[in-house]
């Protein structure tokens, strides 16, 4: 289905550039309220990350929703998965998150959750788009929506995260460095790990509106690596701006990506007989993950890139575990969407059960060399991946790699980027092929 505004994860772009403008977001709020009010009275919860533009868009959404007769509960800065959880617990009709996740501060976006805390179905997104393009009609004054602020949202979510591990769980003796990316989890994440007994040092917890994801968080592990080594920590945990992703660093300062964390979670569940079915990855998941799971007799399937596609595959197969190498991990026994804090807790509990360090436990999976290069392109370019010259270059690279490698080019669903991925057995060849393809993309579309 072709959508005018919605991408793979809500509506996202640069602040001040359509559609990420106050005028559009006001109309969007009205459209959402109108769409959900068709089934009666409507209540919507709104959370946001720490971007300076969040205040502006929160006000615009609030006004639009009220104009449609929808009641609004404001949660303030909260992780995206917290909004999904609170949408369910408050029995709201919808949840809205103002966030551009791992993007820089000058981007922002609007994400949506249904009453069940899951992404909206395509049909509803299309209906919202239809309404956005209609004239805005305000309900009569007596029917305007009311707005209130929720004061205990953080405490509710902290307890929810802690409930995802057994009640007797103690992290006492575990020394952690926690990087909150100057984002939405800067208050709640340290509390979760400290209340479970861990010795927690925190970085990336001083948001000022423009430093979200800036040289901190899961998009840049440099600071976390340095702090883990300097403090002699057992490991480091890095969240992204809205805390739906998590990556880790072991005690040696080595990065541990989402594929490896997914492997650790899968092995823990498998060994305890609690892995329902297999594991869902994506087209970008490392071949090493597939091979390691296959060796243990665990099924593995690939979905399109994007957590909504991982979720769809899990629900269709009635499986419970999936994720992306970016650190978007989904464990459906506890969450209805990716949750960086809860995923980190599952990994820490798995390490406790094995008695191994993160560095030791990750050795069970051997990653194949994989290179990913992002190339920015002009948005006006029509179907860039269909270009005959680019397709010929991809075919030539695949031929040189043979059966022991993969080439994948795809468009980002959230930014004007072409993602060039090459994977194989020979690291030198993989790097060379990826750089050659990236150069071809730049020559054609940059």
For residues 332 and 430, state if they share a domain.
no
Catalytic residues: 101
For residues 306 and 349, state if they share a domain.
yes
Task: Count the neighbouring beta carbons within 10 Å of the beta carbon of residue 116.
Answer: 10
For residues 413 and 303, state if they share a domain.
no
For residues 32 and 109, state if they share a domain.
yes
pTM for this entry = 0.90
For residues 343 and 246, state if they share a domain.
no
Residue 5 resides in a domain: no
Last residue of a domain, one of 256, 290, 310: 256
CATH number at residue 363: 3.40.120.10
Ordered DSSP codes for 196-207 = TT-EEEEES---
Residue 161 resides in a domain: no
pLDDT tens, position by position, 50-104: 999 999 999 999 999 999 999 999 999 999 999 999 999 999 999 999 999 999 9
Comparing 145-154, 208-217, 368-377, the range with the smallest average pLDDT is: 368-377
For residues 26 and 139, state if they share a domain.
yes
Residue 223 resides in a domain: yes
For residues 127 and 137, state if they share a domain.
yes
SS3 329: strand
Residue 69 resides in a domain: yes
Number of folded domains in the chain?
Answer: 4
For residues 196 and 235, state if they share a domain.
yes
CATH number at residue 418: 3.30.310.50
Q: How far apart are CA 36 and CA 203, in angstroms?
A: 40
Residue 186 resides in a domain: yes
Residue 425's pLDDT band (boundaries 50, 70, 90)? Answer: confident
For residues 337 and 374, state if they share a domain.
no
Dihedral (Cα; 46, 47, 49, 51), 10-degree rounding: 30
Q: Residue 321 to residues 3, 83, 120, 275, 332: CA-CA distances in angstroms?
A: 29, 21, 20, 8, 7
Residue 158 resides in a domain: no
Residue 1's pLDDT band (boundaries 50, 70, 90)? Answer: low
Residue 45 resides in a domain: yes
Domain around 235: 169-256
pLDDT tens, position by position, 281-335: 999 899 899 989 999 999 999 999 888 899 999 999 999 999 999 999 999 999 9
For residues 82 and 190, state if they share a domain.
no
């Amino acid at each position: 289905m072709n959508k005018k505004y919605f991408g793979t994860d809500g509506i996202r772009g640069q602040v001040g550039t359509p559609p990420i403008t106050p005028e559009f977001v006001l109309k969007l709020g009205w459209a959402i309220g109108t769409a959900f009010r068709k089934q009666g009275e409507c209540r919507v919860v709104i959370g946001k990350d720490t971007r300076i533009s969040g205040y502006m868009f929160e006000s615009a959404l609030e006004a639009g929703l009220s104009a449609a007769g929808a009641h609004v509960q404001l949660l303030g800065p909260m992780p995206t998965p917290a909004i999904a959880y609170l949408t369910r617990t408050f029995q709201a009709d919808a949840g809205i998150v103002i966030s551009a996740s791992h993007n820089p501060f000058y981007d922002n976006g609007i994400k949506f959750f249904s009453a069940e805390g899951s992404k909206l179905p395509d049909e509803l997104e299309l209906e919202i788009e239809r309404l956005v393009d209609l004239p805005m009609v305000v309900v009569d004054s007596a029917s305007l929506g009311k707005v209130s602020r929720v004061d205990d949202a953080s405490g509710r979510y902290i307890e929810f995260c802690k409930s995802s591990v057994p009640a007797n769980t103690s992290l006492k003796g575990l020394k952690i460095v926690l990087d909150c990316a100057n984002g939405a989890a800067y208050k709640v994440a340290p509390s979760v790990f400290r209340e479970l007994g861990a010795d927690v040092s925190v970085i990336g917890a001083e948001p000022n509106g423009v430093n979200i994801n800036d040289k901190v968080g899961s998009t840049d592990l440099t600071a976390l690596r340095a702090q883990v080594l300097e403090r002699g920590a057992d490991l480091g945990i890095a969240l992204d701006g809205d805390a739906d992703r998590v990556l880790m660093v072991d005690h040696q300062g080595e990065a541990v990506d989402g594929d490896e964390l997914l492997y650790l979670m899968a092995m823990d569940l498998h060994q305890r007989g609690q892995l329902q079915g297999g594991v869902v990855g994506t087209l970008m998941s490392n071949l090493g993950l597939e091979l390691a799971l296959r060796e243990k007799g665990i099924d593995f399937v690939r979905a399109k890139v994007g957590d909504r596609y991982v979720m769809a595959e899990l629900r269709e197969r009635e499986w419970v575990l999936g994720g992306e190498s970016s650190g978007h991990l989904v464990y459906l026994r506890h969450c209805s969407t990716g949750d960086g804090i809860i995923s980190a807790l599952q990994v820490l509990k798995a390490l406790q059960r094995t008695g191994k360090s993160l560095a030791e436990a990750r050795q069970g999976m051997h990653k194949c060399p994989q290179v990913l290069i992002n190339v920015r392109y002009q948005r006006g370019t029509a179907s860039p991946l269909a270009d005959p010259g680019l397709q010929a270059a991809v075919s030539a690279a695949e031929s040189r790699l043979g059966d022991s490698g993969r080439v994948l080019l795809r468009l980002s669903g959230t930014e004007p980027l072409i993602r060039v991925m090459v994977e194989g057995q020979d690291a030198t060849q993989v790097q060379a092929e990826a750089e050659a393809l990236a150069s071809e993309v730049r020559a054609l579309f940059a």
